[in-house]
């Protein structure tokens, strides 16, 4: 099953990659140092990490590229990893408890999600929505929507496996509903999800959240001050 360690969620030992062309990180010199942020909308540690990364990126003038890393892409994968959908929810909410202990603002509503009757969602639908935002408006829109979906999931305990819920969130963040729906359902959005996962495989990543930046080892969830100091070295 998916393994959540102290500060990350990881894939099981044997997981086949989706067949997709594997992009490579650009070697071009950017105006600002660039970080690739690999995440999943259902990942509690990503919810803890994202606001810290936003703050540090803003303080240091860093560019953050958003990358989808879907831990389970379907109900069938959830059952294969956890044994049943009931066990999936029970196990994952246990991971939420660990995340809540490290969240800076205590936003995670474990009991609210426990009371909900819908099955715990996989991350694919949310990743497609985030990639639709990427296609339409770029990295910042992707990140804004990612954070909004995570808030809906972990703080408002909404069913982010439901396309209509995702469209409501996207519309609330400023997208035109019908155009966004077409983009979310497109082959391009799905291919971008697969490309990000293929890139993660090439980089040897097995857990999220993970930050990748030239000259640094992969970074996962850590306290704000430590994250700031680790990323400060990118400024030279």
Q: Is the pLDDT of residue 174 over 60?
A: yes
Per-residue pLDDT band for 20 (boundaries 50, 70, 90) equals very low
In SS3 terms, 193-221 reads as HHHHHHHHHHCCCCEECEEECCCCCCECC
Superfamily of domain 35-235: Glutaredoxin (3.40.30.10)
- Per-residue pLDDT tens digits for 29-78: 347 899 999 999 999 999 999 999 999 999 999 999 999 999 999 999 99
**Are the C-beta atoms of residues 19 and 50 closer than 8 Å to each other?**
no
| Chain position carrying tokens 């829109």 | 141
| CA distances in angstroms from 114 to 52, 95, 210, listed in the order given | 27, 13, 27
C-alpha 116 chain-centroid distance:
22
Average pLDDT, the chain: 90
Give the rounded percent of residues in the chain with a pLDDT score beyond 90: 86
- What residue segments make up the domains of the chain, in order of their start? 35-235
Q: Which pLDDT score is estimated for 236?
A: 84
């Amino acid at each position: 099953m998916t393994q959540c360690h102290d500060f990350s969620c990881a894939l099981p030992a044997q997981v086949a990659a989706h067949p997709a062309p594997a992009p490579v990180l650009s070697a071009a010199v950017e105006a600002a140092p660039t970080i690739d942020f690999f995440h999943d909308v259902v990942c509690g540690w990503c919810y803890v990490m994202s606001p810290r990364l936003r703050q540090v990126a803003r303080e240091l003038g860093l560019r953050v590229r958003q990358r989808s890393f879907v831990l389970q892409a379907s109900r069938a994968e959830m059952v294969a990893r956890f044994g049943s959908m009931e066990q999936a929810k029970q196990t994952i909410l246990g991971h939420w408890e660990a995340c809540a202990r490290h969240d800076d603002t205590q936003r995670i509503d474990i009991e609210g999600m426990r009371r909900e009757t819908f099955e715990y969602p996989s991350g694919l639908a949310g990743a497609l929505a985030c990639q639709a935002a990427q296609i339409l408006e770029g990295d910042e829109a992707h990140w804004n929507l990612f954070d909004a979906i995570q808030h809906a999931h972990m703080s408002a305990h909404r069913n982010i496996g439901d396309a209509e819920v995702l469209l409501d969130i996207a519309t609330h963040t400023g997208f035109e509903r019908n155009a966004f729906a077409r983009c979310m359902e497109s082959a391009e959005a799905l291919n971008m999800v697969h490309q990000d996962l293929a890139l993660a495989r090439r980089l040897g990543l097995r857990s999220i959240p993970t930050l990748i930046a030239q000259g640094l080892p992969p970074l996962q969830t850590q306290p704000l001050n430590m994250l700031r100091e680790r990323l400060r070295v990118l400024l030279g």
